[in-house]
C-alpha cells in the first residue's frame, strides 16, 4: 500500500473513531451531527435537501431521521403547501445539543491539529478539499470490481 493510502486510511479511521466517541457521549451516532448542523442553521428542511447538503443519499437521511425521531431529537411534519413533502424539525432536546456538541467537536479539532501552525491547518484543509473533490470526480463504475477509475480531468 502506498504511503498516501496508508496514512489517509489510518487518519480517516482514527478521526471517525474519535468523533464517534465524542458524539456517543450525547447519544448520537456518527453522521447525525451533520444532520443536526443543517437543522441548527435552518430548521424545517426536507430529507432530500439535507442529503444534498451533507453529500449523502435521501434514504440515509430518512433512516437517520427515524432514529433521531425515536430518540426525541426531531419530529417530521408534512409541508403545509405540498403534503407530499416531509420536513424535519428539531425538538427542544435537539436544539439543546447544539452548544455541547459544537464545543466538544471544536475541542476535538484542536486536539487533532495540536502542534500545527494555523497556516498549516489552512493548507491541510485546502489539500484535503482537493483530495475529496478528486475522489468525487473519479470516472469509474463503483459496482464493477474490475473497473479502472480514471483520474479527474482538470
The pLDDT of residue 135: 86
**Domain contains 127:** no
**Domain contains 118:** no
**Domain contains 125:** no
The pLDDT of residue 154: 56
**Domain contains 96:** yes
Domain coverage including residue 60: 3-108
- Average pLDDT per consecutive 10 residues, the chain (154 residues; last block may be shorter): 94 95 95 96 96 94 96 95 94 98 97 97 96 84 64 60
The pLDDT of residue 137: 86
Structural domains of the chain, count: 1
SS3 content of the chain, % helix, strand, coil (to 5): 60, 10, 30
The pLDDT of residue 54: 93
**Domain contains 80:** yes
**Domain contains 151:** no
Tell if the pTM clears 0.75, that is, is over it: yes
**Domain contains 134:** no
**Domain contains 119:** no
Which CATH number fits the domain that encloses residue 47? 1.10.10.10
* Residue spans of beta strands (DSSP E) within 10-146: 74-78, 86-90
If phi over 0 gives left and psi between -120 and 50 gives alpha, with beta otherwise, what is residue 70?
alpha
The pLDDT of residue 95: 98
The pLDDT of residue 150: 66
The pLDDT of residue 99: 97
Amino acid at each position: 500500500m502506498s504511503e498516501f493510502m496508508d496514512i489517509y486510511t489510518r487518519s480517516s479511521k482514527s478521526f471517525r473513531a474519535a468523533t464517534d466517541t465524542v458524539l456517543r457521549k450525547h447519544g448520537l451516532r456518527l453522521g447525525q451531527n451533520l444532520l443536526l448542523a443543517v437543522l441548527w442553521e435552518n430548521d424545517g428542511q426536507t430529507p432530500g435537501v439535507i442529503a444534498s447538503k451533507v453529500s449523502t443519499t435521501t434514504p440515509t437521511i430518512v433512516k437517520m431521521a427515524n432514529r433521531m425521531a425515536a430518540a426525541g431529537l426531531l419530529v417530521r411534519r408534512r409541508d403545509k403547501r405540498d403534503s407530499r413533502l416531509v420536513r424535519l424539525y428539531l425538538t427542544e432536546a435537539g436544539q439543546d445539543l447544539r452548544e455541547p456538541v459544537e464545543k466538544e467537536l471544536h475541542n476535538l479539532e484542536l486536539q487533532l491539529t495540536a502542534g500545527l501552525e494555523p497556516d498549516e491547518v489552512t493548507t491541510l484543509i485546502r489539500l484535503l478539499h482537493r483530495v475529496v473533490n478528486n475522489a468525487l470526480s473519479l470516472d469509474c463504475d463503483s459496482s464493477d470490481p474490475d473497473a479502472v477509475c480514471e483520474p479527474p480531468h482538470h
